[in-house]
Chain A
Amino acid sequence: METAIAVLLDGLTFSSYLFIVSLGLTIIFGVMKVLNLAHGGFYAWGAYSAAFLIGRAANAGWPDWSGFVIIFASALAVGIVMGLVIELGILRFLHDREEALVVLATFGILLMLEDGIMAVFGTDPFFAHQPMSALGHVDIGGIARDVYGLTMIALAFAVAVLAWLAFKRTRYGKLLSAVIYDREIALAFGIDVRRLFVLTFVAGAALGALGGAYVAPTTSVVPGLGMEVIVVSFAVVVIGGMGSIPGALVGALIVGLVRALAVHKFPELELFVIYAVMALVLIFRKEGLFAPAKPRRI
Chain B
Amino acid sequence: MAHRDHTLRWLALASFLLVVIACFVPGWLLNQMLFASARGLAVLGLLVLWRAGLVSLGGALFFGLGAYSVALLQRMAGITDALLLLALAAGISGLSGFVLGFLLRRYRGIFFAMMNLAFSMILYGAAVKNRALGSTDGFGVAQPSFFGITFAEPADAKLALFAVLVVAGYAVMCCVHWYWKSTLGWLGAAVRDNEIRVEYLGYSVERVIHVKYTLSAVLGGLGGAFLAMGLGQVDPDSMINWVASGEMLFVMILSGSASVAAPFVGSFLFELLRTYALEVAPLAWQFIIGATLVLLILFAPNGVWSIFARLFGRAAAR
Contacts and interface: CB of A to CB of B under 8 A. Distances in A.
Chains A and B directly touch (beta carbon < 8 Å):
yes
A112 B113 contact: no
A35 B125 contact: no
A158 interface: no
A242 B297 contact: no
Interface in B46-90: 55
B171 interface: no
Interface stretch (A18-26, A45-53, A61-69, A272-280): A272-280
Contacts of A286: 106-107, 111
Interface string B108-123: 0111011101110110
Nearest to A266: B129
Contact of A115 (B111, B113, B242, B290): B290
A293 interface: no
B297 A105 contact: yes
A100 B286 contact: no
A105 B298 contact: yes
B111 A111 contact: no
Contacts of A102: 297
A119 B284 CA distance: 8
Contact of A112 (B103, B117, B290, B297): B290
Contacts of B289: 108, 111
A146 B291 CA distance: 41
Nearest to A291: B111
- Chain B contact surface mostly: helix
A81 to B, nearest CB: 18
Given A94-B298, A97-B301, A115-B284, A108 B290 contact: yes
A235 B121 CA distance: 12
Contact of A234 (B103, B114, B122, B291): B114
Contacts, number: 115
B293 interface: yes
A94 B118 contact: no
Contacts of B249: 104
A265 B193 CA distance: 46
Interface in A199-226: none
B42 interface: no
B125 A271 contact: yes
Contacts of A272: 121-122, 124-125
A282 B114 contact: yes
A238 interface: yes
Interface core residue of A102, A266, A275 (most chain B CB under 10 Å): A275
Contacts of B115: 279, 282
Contacts of B283: 115, 118-119, 123
Contact of A99 (B109, B253, B290): B109
Contacts of B111: 238, 282, 286-288
Contacts of B284: 115, 119
13 contacts: A93-B298, A100-B55, A105-B298, A108-B292, A108-B297, A110-B290, A111-B286, A112-B290, A112-B291, A112-B294, A115-B290, A119-B287, A235-B114
Interface of A: 35, 90, 93-94, 97, 99-105, 107-116, 118-119, 123, 231, 234-235, 238, 242, 266, 268-269, 271-273, 275-276, 278-279, 282-283, 286-288, 297-298
Task: Please give me the 3 A-B residue pairs with the lowest Cβ-Cβ distance, nearest first.
Answer: A111-B290, A272-B125, A108-B293
